[in-house]
Amino acid sequence: MKKILIKNANIVNEGKVFEGDVYIENDIIVEVADSISAKSQDVQVYDAEGKYLLPGVIDDQVHFREPGLTHKEDIEHGSKAAIAGGITSFIEMPNTIPQTTTIEKLEEKFAIAAEKAYANYSFMFGGTNDNLEEIKKVNPKTTAALKLFLGSSTGNMLVDDEKVLEQIFKHSPLLIAAHCEDEQTIKDNLAKYKEEFGDDIPIIYHPEIRSEEACYISSSRAVALAKKTGARLHVFHLSTAKELALFSNKKPLKDKKITAEVCIHHLWFNNEQYNEKGTHIKWNPAVKTKKDQEALFKALLDDKLDVIATDHAPHTKEEKNNVYTKAPSGGPLVQHALPAMLEFYHKGKISLEKIVEKMCHNPAILFEIEKRGYIKEGYKADLVLVDLNAPWTVQSDNILYKCGWSPFEKTTFRSRITHTFVNGKLVYKNFKVLGVRNAERLTFDRS
């Protein structure tokens, strides 16, 4: 039996920060207490020396591009970058090639992950205009959720047949996670700018094309449909202040039928950075104004926004360094999401407890993930040790993404992830992925 004792940590868990020790046997946290002493010789002891111990982050939205788009990213590189960023579990999206729209394709992805993933994994099934019967067959006990693109993005998975959509909302056995941007509004806006600029539309107009209105029309339609059908809806990557009125903080997360996510890039960037960063910060939905950014932050603290995710969506530099209409939307984020949130902590904008709630506890509650997301007895030992005072700068020689670039390049983060444990095994230490694969398929506690 493998036994690990982490001593002298500042443990961040369930709204508290307290000094303590954590004892692990095999993959399970066996004891969390003020002081634990090694009970036998074969216990491996890590002295945390006051560093902060967090539950491993659970990222509910990543695009690891495998199969079919592995020139951009793959499960091995993506999950290695994830553990370097303190993300110990990920839920991956269906816009791969082939798309994850049949049970067979879904199982193929699980098989790839079983061979290659460095972090615990699950996948979302993809809904289309014509796979309702297949959706009905997906087992909610073994698959994370159903992803619907209610706005076009990478991978041509737009679901725009209103009648089908209502049927999906009525009959989905899975929680529905939706990308909300109204297609017609985007098309009309794009046509207007294309008339003026051709393909080389200045990037600053991205949030005018993928506009607030496009987001609001689509999110409100999805929320209305969820209310009408009783579907369990989770709206992905909120980007505007206006949409926040659609969400509520009146109930505890476990009782909410409609929930919402915010992504790192919408919290970190705003439209003032388009001139400097260009298409490297082109995302769908677009990064919008400073006012939107501030409203998102407030809604996160007020619990109108339930989880923080990355929407890690790499494209190569060559693909990104293109004129507006040809540069794909999306960027790599898993390695830098937690350091970015910890930077907000340093700036006094959010507490460590809140970061842990939104990145670790809440994804586990929302997706009913079994025994993860907390530093608790009986839970899986997915843990991250963080040095809050060890500045480092994002640069090409420490970026682990297959695409080799980051929108955070040249950013100095004050906090560093020093150790990541997945199911009780140390898999990452001080800028080094240790080559130890100990990931498991996520399981769900759903009745």
Residue pointed to by tokens 């898999």: 427
Whether residue 269 contacts residue 281, with contact meaning beta carbons closer than 8 Å, is answered with yes
- As a three-state string, the secondary structure of the chain is CCEEEEEEEEEEECCEEEEEEEEEECCEEEEEECCCCCCCCCEEEEECCCCEEEECEEEEEECCCCCCCCCCCCHHHHHHHHHHCCEEEEEECCCCCCCCCCHHHHHHHHHHHHHHCCCEEEEEEECCCCCHHHHHHCCCCCCCEEEEEECCCCCCCECCCHHHHHHHHHHCCCCEEEEECCHHHHHHHHHHHHHHHCCCCCHHHHHHHCCHHHHHHHHHHHHHHHHHHCCCEEECCCCCCHHHHHCCCCCCHHHCCEEEEEEHHHHHCCHHHHHHHHHHHCCCCCCCCHHHHHHHHHHHHCCCCCEEECCECCCCHHHHCCCCCCCCCCCCCCCCHHHHHHHHHHCCCCCHHHHHHHHHHHHHHHCCECCCCCCCCCCECCEEEEECCCCEECCHHHCCCCCCCCCCCCCEECCEEEEEEECCEEEEECCEECCCCCCCECCECCC
Pairing of strands 57-62, 87-92: parallel
Select the span of 38-46, 153-161, 381-389, 426-434 touching ligand NCD (CB under 6 A). 153-161
Least spacing, CB of residue 149 vs ligand NCD, in Å:
7
Active-site entry in 306, 311, 382, 387: 311
Least spacing, CB of residue 264 vs ligand NCD, in Å:
12
Strand partners, 11: 18, 53
Q: Is the Cβ of residue 320 or residue 354 nearer to ligand NCD in the bound state?
A: 320
Does 283 help bind ligand NCD (rule: CB under 6 A)?
A: yes
Q: Is 311 assigned a catalytic role?
A: yes
Least spacing, CB of residue 155 vs ligand NCD, in Å:
6
Does 271 help bind ligand NCD (rule: CB under 6 A)?
A: no
Q: Is the Cβ of residue 187 or residue 251 nearer to ligand NCD in the bound state?
A: 187
Q: Is the Cβ of residue 303 or residue 311 nearer to ligand NCD in the bound state?
A: 311
Q: Is the Cβ of residue 11 or residue 313 nearer to ligand NCD in the bound state?
A: 313
Q: Is the Cβ of residue 68 or residue 230 nearer to ligand NCD in the bound state?
A: 68
Does 284 help bind ligand NCD (rule: CB under 6 A)?
A: yes
Least spacing, CB of residue 76 vs ligand NCD, in Å:
18
Q: Which residues in the 171-200 window bind ligand NCD by CB under 6 A?
A: 179
Contact pick of 85, 330, 339, 407 for ligand NCD (by CB under 6 A): 330
Q: Is the Cβ of residue 127 or residue 330 nearer to ligand NCD in the bound state?
A: 330
Select the span of 169-177, 216-224, 328-336, 420-428 touching ligand NCD (CB under 6 A). 328-336
Does 62 help bind ligand NCD (rule: CB under 6 A)?
A: no
Does 313 help bind ligand NCD (rule: CB under 6 A)?
A: yes
Select the span of 52-60, 164-172, 322-330, 367-375 touching ligand NCD (CB under 6 A). 322-330
Task: In whole angstroms, give the CA distance from residue 411 to residue 423.
Answer: 31
Least spacing, CB of residue 148 vs ligand NCD, in Å:
11
Select the span of 113-121, 225-233, 325-333, 386-394 touching ligand NCD (CB under 6 A). 325-333
Least spacing, CB of residue 282 vs ligand NCD, in Å:
7
Q: Is the Cβ of residue 221 or residue 429 nearer to ligand NCD in the bound state?
A: 221
Reported residue count of the chain is 447
Does 96 help bind ligand NCD (rule: CB under 6 A)?
A: no
Contact pick of 10, 79, 95, 120 for ligand NCD (by CB under 6 A): 95
Q: Is the Cβ of residue 126 or residue 330 nearer to ligand NCD in the bound state?
A: 330
Nearest to 140 by CA among 306, 369, 362: 369
Does 311 help bind ligand NCD (rule: CB under 6 A)?
A: yes
Contact pick of 154, 185, 270, 420 for ligand NCD (by CB under 6 A): 154
Does 329 help bind ligand NCD (rule: CB under 6 A)?
A: yes
Active site residues: 311
Q: Which residues bind ligand NCD (CB under 6 A)?
A: 63, 95, 153-155, 179, 283-284, 311, 313, 328-330
